[in-house]
A and B are shown apart, each in its own frame.
Chain A
Amino acid sequence: MSSKALPAVIVALVCLAGCASTTPANPEDPYETFNRRMFGFNDSLDRAVLEPVARGYRAVTVEPVRDGVSNFVGNLGEPVTFANKLLQGKLIGATGAVGRFALNSTVGIVGIFDVASALGIEEGEADFGQTLGIWGFDPGPYLVLPFLGSSSPRDLTGFGIDRAIDPFNYLEFEGDDTLRVARIVGGALSGRESVLETVDDLRTQIDPYTAARRFYVRNRASMVGKPLPPSPDTQKVPESELDF
């Protein structure tokens, strides 16, 4: 986690502790009141800043340029992917991350072109929250954090560890600060642009917060190889529905 994000997270956790003592708990979402406030805050921020900027970015760029930005940012994440794949015992995935980074950084011109995917070495996602999950740690309660969005104590810890082990946060060379800023700005722009339609769809839901929570929790459970069981509704059909 960057040093700038840390104070916000601490404030959020202090608020969270306050909310915990006053809010009736939903067993699936004990910090719902706090989470909904943060969800609203992030949503307002998104509508005011991120979404318009992302739409502008889409309007003034062509797809190959956007792909280049996305590839560049993604390539800088390969060392962290490599470390996590290794920690998860996925040696083929770890080797793939090394291969992708080497190929895309050189032949792919600092990662702008995804040569590795063209050669069949597909991108694999891995983060330390996922690693902790694979090691057997439960995620804990669902959290929505200001600026960061959906998370959990396990994934928040993983988020911090991923930043701590990221070599690009430590490397010193000419223009290193520019690279770090470009990565943050490019990552935010590219990431938000790629989910414009998904967020639009989310906002067509009766309760976007609940939709986002359920998607996050189920998706993370699948990512650690422990998908949540189907609800009883998928298992039994009432007799009344079979009467036709």
Chain B
Amino acid sequence: MRFRLQLISAAMTVIAAFAAPAAVADKTSEAYVETQANAVLKVLNNQTLSDADRRERFSTYMHKFAYVPDIARRVLGPRARTLSQAEFDTYYKAFEQYAIAVYETQLDQFRGQEIKVTGSRDDDPRRSKVTSLIKSARSGGDIEVVWDVLKSKDGTTYRVRDVGLNLDGSIFWLAQEQSVQFQSFLDRNQGDVGKLVKQINQMTADLRARPAGSPSTIGKASP
């Protein structure tokens, strides 16, 4: 009996030794998401900022949270490897502006709200999925937002890899959905990244020009 207790105790110690770093990663990544996401929302809520200042601060935050070139490459898929540096730079510039415009528009529905982290799980020691809730001013209900977070080698900083929205029980990962759409666009346009860049720039311009509540003209350019 005494031996069995010792064995269980030893097993628990071993499990705890492995479990502890994961739990710590969970809590720190949770805190990271809650702090940084609410900082972004504060920027959106700051009525003293001009549109240009708000966009600049938002852009700064986006680059702090995420390594945008990686996301841009991932979204473009295998074709990213075939581009010259100059071509990639042109695409990246368009992608970055589009991403800022999209997130600005999407996050606008959460103005005046705060994100509350509800839990997380570690996929591995350097990757966590952090789950949070935020009230949408548009629907009045809570929306579940999931953050795919990577931890740096030295464990001091994080990067958001993708953001997922739970829509009626299905998680829609924004970068992933964008990637599928980019592939589809390229497939229908003989893989012409130049056309994709043109389309991205058009969508960014439309997004920026869209007055709230006006009849939409966006998407007309889609082939």
Contacts and interface: CB of A to CB of B under 8 A. Distances in A.
A197 B176 contact: no
Given A51-B216, A204-B102, A208-B219, A222 B161 contact: no
A222 B170 CA distance: 6
Contacts of B26: none
Contacts of B182: 206-207
A199 interface: yes
Nearest to B67: A244
Interface string B183-202: 01100000000001001100
Contact of A241 (B150, B167, B218): B150
B126 interface: yes
How many chain B residues sit at the interface, stated as a range, is: 35 or more
Nearest to B199: A206
A149 to B, nearest CB: 15
A99 B169 CA distance: 26
Contact of B161 (A47, A210, A211, A241): A241
A215 B169 CA distance: 11
A244 B159 contact: yes
Per DSSP, are chain A's interface residues mostly helix, strand or loop, or mixed? Answer: helix
Nearest to A232: B176
Interface stretch (A6-14, A110-118, A158-166, A223-231): A223-231
Contacts of A208: 219, 222
A222 B199 CA distance: 32
A105 to B, nearest CB: 25
A236 B162 CA distance: 13
Per DSSP, are chain B's interface residues mostly helix, strand or loop, or mixed? Answer: mixed
Residue from A206, A227, A242 with most neighbouring chain B CB atoms (10 Å): A206
Contacts of A200: 210, 216, 218
A210 B181 contact: yes
Contacts of A222: 168-170
A230 B168 contact: no
Given A210-B181, A242-B126, A244-B67, A204 B207 contact: yes
B150 A237 contact: yes
A233 interface: yes
30 contacts: A47-B215, A47-B216, A51-B216, A52-B215, A197-B109, A197-B138, A200-B216, A201-B105, A203-B219, A204-B102, A204-B105, A204-B206, A206-B178, A206-B181, A206-B203, A207-B181, A207-B184, A208-B219, A208-B222, A210-B184, A211-B181, A214-B180, A218-B170, A223-B168, A231-B173, A233-B74, A233-B176, A234-B162, A237-B150, A244-B152
The 7 closest A-B pairs by CB, nearest first: A203-B219, A222-B169, A207-B181, A203-B218, A218-B170, A210-B184, A222-B170
